[in-house]
Chains A and B, each alone.
Chain A
Amino acid sequence: MEKEKVLEVQNLYAAYDEMVVLTDVSFSANKGEVTVILGGSGSGKTTVLNHLLGLLPIEKGTVSLLGKNVATLREVEQVDLYLQMGVFYQNGGLLNSLTVAENVALPLNQHTNLPQDLIDEIVFMKLGLVNLQHAFYLYPSQLSGGMMKRAALARAIVMDPPILFCDEPGAGLDPVSLEILDKLILNLKNKLGMSIIMVTHEVSSILRVANRIVFLDKGVVVFEGPLHEALHSTQPAVNEFFSVMKNENIRELLKG
C-alpha cells in the first residue's frame, strides 16, 4: 500500500553564487516515519533542509510540504505552514533574553488565545515530556548543552506539529544524553504519529530511530530507501559510511 507522503522534493537545484551545491535532488518522506537525511560534510544536507524550511528561495525544482508547494506560498500561507511544523535547530536557537518557559510559551502566546495559566500548564507539561521542569525559570545561558537541546525540542513540539524537522539533534551530546533524546523522538513518532525529518550523522542514533534513509553525496541523492536496505547497499558512498560501524553495531542489530 502506498503510504501518505508529507514531503516531496523534486529536482531541487541550489547554488551559492558560482558554487553549485545541489544539482538534482529528489526524495520524499512518509507520514508517521522518521526520515534521515544523511551525507558527509559539504554534501548539501543543511542546504536541503533550509530549502524545506523556506529559509532559502527555491530556484529550480519543487518542494511540497503537507501537500503545499513551498515556492508559491504567500506570506500568510507560509506562516500557516510554519505553525504545522516544528523545527529543532542544531544549537537550540533559544532566545537568550527569555527564560526557558517563555521560550517554549512563545508560539502559544503569539498564535493562540489560550489563557495565561493554561499556557503555563501546557509549557510545564511539555517541559515534563523532555524532563526539564526544574528549568522553568532558568535562562538558556544557565543550561547545559543537553538541557538546551531538550528545551529546544520542547519548544519545537509545543504546538503539536504534525511534522518535525531536526537539524543534527545529536551533535555534541554524550551517548547517554543522545539515547534519551532518541527515545523522546521515537515517542513523538509512535505516540503522536509525528512525521520526523532529521539531518544527522550520528550512526547510533540512525540505527535507533530511522525508518527511511536519504543519502546525499555531492549534491545528488545516491540512495533512498528503508534503513535495512541502506545497511546492505552496494552504492560506494553509502557503503563506506555504514562500513565504519558495520563491524560493531550491525551484528548486534541483526542478532536483535
Chain B
Amino acid sequence: MRKKRARTSFSFCCQDRLQVNLDGQTMSLSGKLTMQEAAELTRHFLNHLRFIEQKTLVFDLSGLVHIDSAGVMALFYIRKKLYEKSIQSELTDAPESIADKIRLFYPEEEAGVSPPRRPAFFEYVGGQVYHFFSSYVFGFILLAANIFYWGVTDIFKPRARRKGEFVNQAVLIGVNAVVIVVFLTFVIGYVIALHSAGQLRTFGANIFVVDLVVFSILSQMGPLITAILVAGRSGSAIAAEIATMKVTAELDALKTMGLNPNRFVVVPKLYACMLTMPFLIVFANVAGIFGGGLAANVYLDITPEVFVNRMMDIMRNKELWVALVKSQVYAALIVLTGSFYGFRVERGAEGVGKVTTVAVVVSITLVIVADSLLGVIFY
C-alpha cells in the first residue's frame, strides 16, 4: 500500500516580513507577526497541516521582533489546530517583549478556549420552528386571550375605562378612514362593472351586471378592501404607537402605576375598531354599488330605476350578516396584530420601523386568509 510521504520540513515566507521554517520538531518564526502576516501564516499553515506527521512541535520564537494581538491569536489558533490532530506543541525562546504580549493576549487554557460555536443547520431550523410556535403562535393567542378578557371586563366596569379614549380612537381609526374607503370602493365598483360590461353585452345579459356588482361588492370587495385599508392605516399606527411607548418606557411606567397596558392602551382601540368597522363597510358597500351603477348606466344603458329594482330583488340579508361577522373578525385581527408586534419591539428606534412594517404585512395577510376561510364557511 502506498503511503503518503511524510514531510518533515518546509519553509515559507509571509510578505517578506515573516520567515517560517519547519525542521524536525522545531518550527522557527522570525521577523514580524502582525495582522497582515497572521492572515497568510494561518493560510499557509493550514495548507501544510496535513503533511505534518511529527507528534510534537516546538515553536522557536527567538527570531520574532514584533507581535500584535492578531499574531498571538494566530499562534493560539495554529496550536489549537495541531491539538485537534493530536500534535503537542509549545512556544519557546520568546524575547521578553514578545513574551509580554503573549502573556497579555494568550487565552487561558482552562477557561473556555473558543468562542461559542454556531448552531448546526438542523439545530438552527428546529430552534427557529420552536421559536415560531412558542413566541409567535402561543404569544399571539395569549395576548388575544388577555385583551379579550380585559375587553369583556371593561364592558361591565365602565368606571375603570379610560375617559375619552374610545371616541378619540374611533375618530382616528374609523371616521378619518371614511373618505379613502369610499373613494377606493367607488372606483373598484365602477371598474368591475366596466370590465364585465363588454362580456355581458356579447350575451345580451346586460341586466346581470347588477347581480355581479352587488354580490361582489357586498360579499367580498366591500369588507375586504375596507379591512386592507384599515390594516394599512391603523394597523401600522397601532404598532408604531405601542412600540414607541415600549421603547420610551411608557409601558413600564403604566405597569408600575398598576395599570395593565393591554387594558389601558389596546382595549379602547379594539372597541373603536370593532365598532367603526361595520359602518365603514356599509359606506364601502354603498359607494361600490354606486360606482357599479354609474358604470352600468354609462356603458350598458341600465337606468337607476332598473338597477335599484333588480338590486332589491336579488339582495339577501345573509350578505349583510356575513359582512357584519367579517367586520368583527377583521377588526380584531388588525388590532391584535398591530399590538402584538408593537409589544414585541426590540432594539430601540430601529425596531419601531421594523415592527410597523411587519405588523402591516402580517395583518393584511391574516385578513385575506380569514376572508378566504369565512368565504368557504358562509358560501
Contacts and interface: CB of A to CB of B under 8 A. Distances in A.
Interface string B37-65: 01100110010000000000000000000
Contacts of B77: 117-118, 121
B69 A122 contact: yes
A125 B38 CA distance: 15
B114 interface: yes
Contact of B115 (A96, A97, A136, A140): A136
A120 interface: yes
Indicate the size class of the contact surface on chain A.
20 to 34
Majority secondary structure of chain B interface residues (helix, strand, loop or mixed): helix
Contacts of A136: 115-116
Interface stretch (B235-243, B250-258, B298-306, B346-354): B346-354
A26 interface: no
B39 A114 contact: yes
Contact of A114 (B70, B111, B115, B350): B70
A192 B243 CA distance: 45
Interface in B69-93: 69-70, 73-74, 76-77
Given A118-B74, A160-B70, A125 B105 contact: yes
Interface string B88-107: 00000000000011001101
B319 interface: no
A101 B114 CA distance: 13
A175 interface: no
Contact of A123 (B76, B101, B115): B115
A120 B115 contact: yes
Given A114-B70, A159-B35, A160-B35, A121 B112 contact: no
A118 to B, nearest CB: 5
B116 A114 contact: no
Interface residues of B, number: 30
Contact of B42 (A97, A118, A126): A118
Nearest to A113: B39
A118 B73 CA distance: 7
Nearest to A118: B77
A112 B71 CA distance: 13
B104 A191 contact: yes
A31 B91 CA distance: 31
Interface string A32-46: 000000000000000
B52 to A, nearest CB: 18
Contacts, number: 77
B346 A160 contact: no
A124 B73 CA distance: 10
Interface string A180-192: 0000000000011
Contacts of B36: 112
A125 B116 contact: no
B68 interface: yes
Contacts of B100: 191
A133 interface: yes
Nearest to A127: B115
A123 B42 CA distance: 16
Nearest to B108: A128
B105 A114 contact: no
Given A122-B69, A126-B69, A112 B347 contact: no
Given A121-B114, A124-B114, A136-B116, A115 B39 contact: yes
B115 A124 contact: yes
A141 B100 CA distance: 36
Interface string A130-147: 000100110111000000
A129 B77 CA distance: 18
Given A121-B107, A122-B69, A160-B35, 20 more contacts: A96-B347, A101-B115, A108-B70, A113-B39, A114-B38, A114-B70, A118-B70, A118-B73, A121-B115, A122-B73, A125-B73, A126-B69, A128-B107, A128-B111, A137-B116, A139-B346, A141-B348, A141-B351, A160-B70, A191-B100
25 contacts: A96-B347, A96-B350, A101-B115, A108-B70, A112-B35, A112-B36, A112-B39, A114-B35, A114-B38, A114-B42, A114-B70, A118-B42, A121-B73, A121-B114, A125-B69, A125-B73, A128-B107, A136-B116, A139-B346, A139-B347, A141-B346, A141-B347, A159-B35, A191-B101, A192-B104
Interface of A: 96-97, 101, 108, 112-115, 117-118, 120-126, 128-129, 133, 136-137, 139-141, 159-160, 191-192
Sorted nearest first, the 7 A-B pairs with minimum C-beta distance are A124-B115, A141-B347, A160-B68, A120-B115, A114-B39, A122-B73, A113-B39
